[in-house]
Structure 1
Amino acid sequence: MRIGVCIKEVLDTNCSIRLNLSNNRVATEGQKHIVNPYDEFALEEALRLKEKNSDVEIITFTIGPERARESIYAALAAGADNALHVVMEDSILIDSLGIALIIQKLIEKEKIDMLLLGEQSTDYSSHEVGPMVAGLLGWAQAMGVSKLEINMESVLVSRETEESNIEIIKLNKSCIIGVTKGINVPRYATLKGIMSARKKNIIRLQIEDLGLNNTELTGLENEKFFYPPEKGNCTLIEGDPKEAAAELVRILKFEERLL
């Protein structure tokens, strides 16, 4: 069974976000990058499936610039078997459907049986790519998965609904699974894994190798990027709690017009 896992490089969640106003993009130069934490959950789930099933092979898919190789090596060090890297520089604007088209081609090229990915990324959090890939392939899909089990013929997943109920879904093995935070605790790579990762082959591809071109990969244009307005002054209301509460209501109702 060949399991594909999406590994996306994102800005470290602890770094300060800067904008490049000349091209309406987030500035990435000189910033620290990490593997999207939700994709780490997906990789860990694939590794656990591999531990239970000796016939499982894990192939990671990454779309991004040359520096994304470090995120790929991290996945290989954790235990992934092989990696494909579609090289695209930050200057190339690509939307969710464009990413889904690339992943579809990679799945078909590698004859992937199942795809695992994070239900979202910590940068744009679109929640769109997984369902789009499923639609392009005609596969079943489940997003927000918090538990995953595989048997001989099917996949059983659990997910929390918008009403905070637990939904259990049975899927065919050819499916797209988007995992959420809490499904597992990703492992740390061992020293042996780190050393062996550098010896593993990363297959580099251009989008043309997949029969695609830049014009097919985006229908969007960033009109404007801007910083949010600075927060206003904080007004501290002191005194008796009841009087302070009444004053707060007065401010919200008559000054801020929020009530």
Structure 2
Amino acid sequence: DKILEAVNNNERILIYGDYDVDGITSVALLFSILREFTNNLYYYIPNRFQEGYGLNEEAIDIAFKNNFKLIITVDCGISSIHEIEKANNYGIDIIVTDHHQPQKDLPSATAIINPKCDKNYPFKELAGVGVSFKMAQALYLKLKKNQEDLWNLLDYVALGSIADSVPFIDENRILIKYGLKTLNQTKKEGLKALIMESGVNYGNLGTKEVNFALAPRINAAGRLGDSKLALELLLTDSEYKAKHLSRKLSEINKHRQEIGDNILREAREFASIQVKEED
């Protein structure tokens, strides 16, 4: 109801996510749904090095200065007690969607959607993007829209769930199964470009291809650069922009691999020197 109220009042809505694959796909999924109903929609992904994980006070200040009335967190927020209290003092409503284990005390959010907080919800192991998909289903149900229209978003759910290593059981097994089917025939320009750039077989993607080809490229943006590059890739409708961004992510991922290789080589050299000194 709060989301629909914000939409009907044309209030500014901010989707706030994490910088890993689960967080980025969660933002992409929810943004794709809500932009059907409002143009007053924005997203925010914190910089891993400057801001760290989760909802932060600087972002709350930015939201207040830019007159946002509603923040929806995805894949984070369940531990952000002080940050959400600050938002409340600013008059900003917060809806938390998360899948992480809650602390003893919960934040004073307008609403909390987390299967680990709901004793009546039978399955507790959804990824953050799985929780976002469930909220999208509830929104469609409220609006009496066709639930089948959400199926084309299951590729996001498969990507985020596999990358987050959730157990492949119960609801996750179903979401991932049909999500991979959707991914293998996706019409999204960003995902098509990412698949082609990764060198994997379009139409024959499984968990291995997601884990070792697609997910590392999405993750690399947040680990070395700007996660927004990956999110822009997932959301773009432009074939040209998709190809450009997918190449950029591959370059960043290659640089990440080179850094890792250098660290490993230096560690081995140091260990070899230590062994010689002990001898």
- Say yes or no: TM over 0.5: no
Q: Which has the higher helix share?
A: 2
Give the structure, 1 or 2, with the largest relative contact order (CA under 8 Å, sep 6 or more).
1
TM-score, normalised to structure 1's length? 0.34
TM-score, length-normalised on structure 2?
0.32
